A and B are shown apart, each in its own frame.
Chain A
Amino acid sequence: AQSVTQLDSQVPVFEEAPVELRCNYSSSVSVYLFWYVQYPNQGLQLLLKYLSGSTLVKGINGFEAEFNKSQTSFHLRKPSVHISDTAEYFCAVLLGGSQGNLIFGKGTKLSVKP
């Protein structure tokens, strides 16, 4: 069965430090990859997505992610975080040829401390 694994449930970092949130997936078919962010008391918001082409994808708020097919990973990075980045981040996979339902990881809570 296809699955998405987010290896860290919580990531505490200090403001202006770099951060990497890890995501691995298992699938025998082609995939499209997404990162969503959920701020406290808000809905899921798309951060970035990989559909095809360049494996390095840039998103909103200075985030970027790199698709690595051989390692089946799609890690999210930001070189310098802000307090306002405190939120929960979800990695999701859309299977090629599927009807469109996303498969989500369990999420990573990013806490940025001053």
Chain B
Amino acid sequence: GAGVSQTPSNKVTEKGKYVELRCDPISGHTALYWYRQSLGQGPEFLIYFQGTGAADDSGLPNDRFFAVRPEGSVSTLKIQRTERGDSAVYLCASSFLGGRAPDTQYFGPGTRLTVL
């Protein structure tokens, strides 16, 4: 079946602009995660959704970052007033259960964000 998809695959923007990154999880997966991978680093957790609600947003770096999942499926990561330091690959993952179950997370190909 279809895996996790992310759009766009690449996004170039100017400092100060607003961007939206989209994630389509695997159908039926209740949990959705956003991670950020900077150059030479492993992915770092940003936020986790269980259904429509953000169960853990402790990884969001500041209030310029926000994410929604209004219908419990597609999620959008929103970044306001982008800064050059926001340049990274943004990864989305989904899993069937989430929560405290040691569930396999399936990752999308990522969106490469470049802030000029």
B56 in complex: contacting residue of A34, A46, A99, A102, CB < 8 Å: A99
In the assembled complex, B115 has its CB within 8 A of some CB on chain A: no
| Min C-beta distance of A62 to chain B, whole Å | 20
Residues of B with C-beta under 8 A to A103:
45
Contact partner of B41 (CB less than 8 A), chosen from A49, A98, A106, is A106
* Interface members, chain A 40-71 (any B CB < 8 Å): 42-46, 49, 51
Alpha-carbon gap, A75 to B45, bound state (A): 23
B44 touches A43 (CB 8 A): no
A105 to chain B, nearest CB (A): 5
Residues of B within 8 A of A45 (CB): 107
Q: Which residue of chain B has its CB nearest to the CB of A9?
A: B40
B55 at the interface (CB under 8 A from A): yes
Which applies to chain B's interface (DSSP): helix, strand, loop or mixed? loop
Are A32 and B105 closer than 8 Å at their CB atoms? no
8 Å CB contact of A43 from B42, B99, B103, B110: B110
A19 in the interface (beta carbon within 8 A): no
Contact B104 A101 (CB under 8 A): no
**Cα(A103)–Cα(B93), bound, Å:** 14
Could you say which residues of chain A place their CB within 8 Å of the CB of B4? Answer: 43
| B104→A90 contact, CB < 8 A | no
Known contacts being A43-B91, A99-B48, A101-B48, is A90 close to B42, with CB within 8 Å?
yes
Known: A94-B102, A104-B42. A42 touches B109 (CB 8 A): yes
CB pair B108 A100 closer than 8 Å: no
B31 to chain A: which residues have CB within 8 Å?
Answer: 100
Q: Does B43 contact A (CB under 8 A)?
A: yes
Instruction: Evaluate contact between A99 and B107: CB separation under 8 angstroms.
Output: no
A97 and B100 contacting across the interface, CB-CB below 8 Å? yes
Residues of A within 8 A of B99 (CB): 99-100
State whether A101 touches B56 (Cβ < 8 A): yes
Contact with B along A16-47 (1 / 0, CB 8 A): 00000000000000001010100000111110
User: Out of A32, A43, A94, which one reaches B107, CB within 8 Å?
Assistant: A43
**B residues adjacent to A (C-beta < 8 A):** 3-4, 31, 33, 35, 40-45, 48, 55-56, 59, 91, 93, 95, 98-110
